[in-house]
Amino acid sequence: MTDQQLPEVFEIPMNQPEQAKPKKVSLSLIVAIIALGISIYSISSKSNDTSSIGQPIEETDLYSSPLNLPDMIAGVEKSLVDITCGESGGTGFAIDGNVSEGFASVIVTNHHVIEDCLDAGIEPIVAIGPDYEQESEAKIYDYDEDNDLALIEIKASIPILPESSSFAKRGWWTMAIGNPYDPLFENVLYNNVTFGNITNVIDDFYNYTTATVNHGNSGGPLVNSRGELIGINTWATSGIENGVWNIAVDSDALCEKLYKCEE
């Protein structure tokens, strides 16, 4: 710790001239001050009304971390699912969209997460709930191999993840959340979160972030500090030769490549 210069201290004279003494405050002025304080408190309380993910949506600075990070995480993870296809698997999440008859939720994930299911001609196993102990009947709806995206429909109804109304910008705070595999303890770390910032956006489709994406994070959401969907965590590299890159495909790719989204 470095020494800091203390601020200069001013002493208040003990014997002030008569005219310097404070005047008595009238009762009406006191009442007015109290009323003003109550009004300010009321306005402040309204401005701090929170959304379902725990912070004032309109006031959240997208370049800073959330005002209430625990609540934001809790809100986002309600939309997550765990997906298994044979020996592979990954993460998915629910988005707003029309579903086929008999199904209730549209799930986004990566093509490579469900690739083994496509090769084997089977449907994925989709686990839901706080501990992923429940399974919901599922079917693959569509996929886009070029952008590594896929859509699954499930019969369970789970909360949707709201989408950002604008493209991500360099410097935005970001959070990646998903179910990566931990090789140290040989298990899955459900709803694991990593944090970072957008470093670049290429062609409005590819969001580069410093939020770490690990094996098993595939198909999970990348969100901003409002808990809104930016993109789908898709690619990651780590090494001296190629460097460290974490890339999320922008959510608009779903509308342009896979899904007829409402305007």
Whether the CB-CB separation of 243 and 236 falls below 8 Å is answered with no
Q: Is 64 a catalytic residue?
A: no
User: What are the residue ranges of helices labelled H in the chain?
Assistant: 27-47, 69-77, 111-120, 252-257
Of 82, 112, 144, 251, catalytic: 112
Whether the CB-CB separation of 208 and 246 falls below 8 Å is answered with yes
Half-sphere exposure of 168 (CA within 13 A, CB side): 37
Q: What torsion, rounded to 10 degrees, do the Cα atoms 140, 146, 149, 150 define?
A: -10
User: What are the residue ranges of helices labelled H in 94-249?
Assistant: 111-120
Tokens of 204: 């409005």
Tokens of 170: 């360099």
Whether the CB-CB separation of 136 and 156 falls below 8 Å is answered with yes
Q: Is 112 a catalytic residue?
A: yes
Q: Is 148 a catalytic residue?
A: yes
Of 218, 225, 250, 251, catalytic: 218
Of 79, 105, 136, 148, catalytic: 148
CA distance 123 to 35: 64
Tokens of 237: 């590299």
* Residue numbers annotated as active site: 112, 148, 218
